[in-house]
């Protein structure tokens, strides 16, 4: 059993409903930006993570296809596009190309993924929201809401919150996802996978609510 990295989890969960529904135009590469907290880099000593370097600062890192999580994102979405649900079989699939840029923000924990794509058909915000809600209807740790999600709402929890917007002016759609990179993005999803594999209730030993504020 394996779990994707925290950035890959956030971006994948934001886009999977639309990839599975064939709602992403394959001719236009989705653009994903992930804002992540410093704890995603671990606890090792590194100059860019010193308080004086990180405080009141923000910077991109490993852009232009160089981040190790990109292959996980593209693999998840490619499998979803070709098979409907990405875990149904282990058949061959083609990854769905994504432009991915992570950015380090001055916060301890949390991830905000902003994923913009062109829809393959004439759909609006209501239809997009319904696609996401239907896709995650049986997922107790993924919540789709009308309001735009915020990182603090999931701090200390093992859940993901998703919101969707449609830009009628450009025709582009944007899916947002927030999660705690130390919870749902790491240990939390490992426990969730253990629960599923060994027949325990999926939410056993997991936190369903964030510690707001």
Residues belonging to the active site:
6
- CB-side neighbour CA atoms (13 Å) of 78: 15
Going by DSSP bridges, is the β-strand pair 59-60/142-144 parallel, antiparallel, or unpaired?
A: unpaired
**Nearest residue to 17 (alpha-carbon basis) of 150, 141, 163:** 163
Q: Distances from the Cα of 111 to the Cαs of 49, 61, 129, 131, 133, in angstroms?
A: 16, 14, 21, 23, 21
In 27-91, where does DSSP find H-type helix?
A: 51-54, 70-83
Can you tell me the distance from the alpha carbon of 38 to that of 170, in angstroms, rounded to the nearest whole number?
Answer: 34
């Amino acid at each position: 059993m394996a779990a994707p990295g925290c950035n890959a989890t956030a971006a994948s969960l934001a886009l999977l409903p639309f990839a599975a529904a064939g709602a992403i135009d394959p001719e236009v590469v989705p653009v994903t930006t992930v804002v992540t907290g410093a704890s995603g880099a671990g606890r090792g000593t590194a100059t860019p993570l010193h308080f004086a370097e990180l405080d009141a600062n923000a910077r991109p890192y490993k852009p232009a296809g160089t981040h190790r999580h990109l292959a996980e994102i593209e693999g998840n979405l490619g499998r979803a596009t070709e098979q409907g649900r990405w875990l149904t079989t282990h058949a061959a699939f083609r990854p769905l190309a994504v432009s991915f840029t992570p950015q380090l923000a001055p916060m301890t924990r949390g991830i905000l993924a902003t994923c913009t794509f062109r829809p393959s058909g004439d759909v609006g915000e209501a239809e997009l929201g319904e696609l996401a809600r239907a896709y995650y209807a049986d997922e107790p740790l993924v919540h789709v809401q009308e309001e735009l999600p915020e990182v603090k709402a999931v701090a200390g929890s093992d859940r993901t919150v998703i919101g969707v917007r449609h830009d009628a002016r450009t025709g582009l759609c944007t899916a947002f996802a927030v999660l705690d990179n130390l919870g749902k993005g790491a240990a939390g999803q490992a426990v969730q996978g253990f629960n599923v594999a060994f027949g325990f209730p999926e939410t056993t030993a997991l936190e369903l609510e964030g510690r707001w504020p």
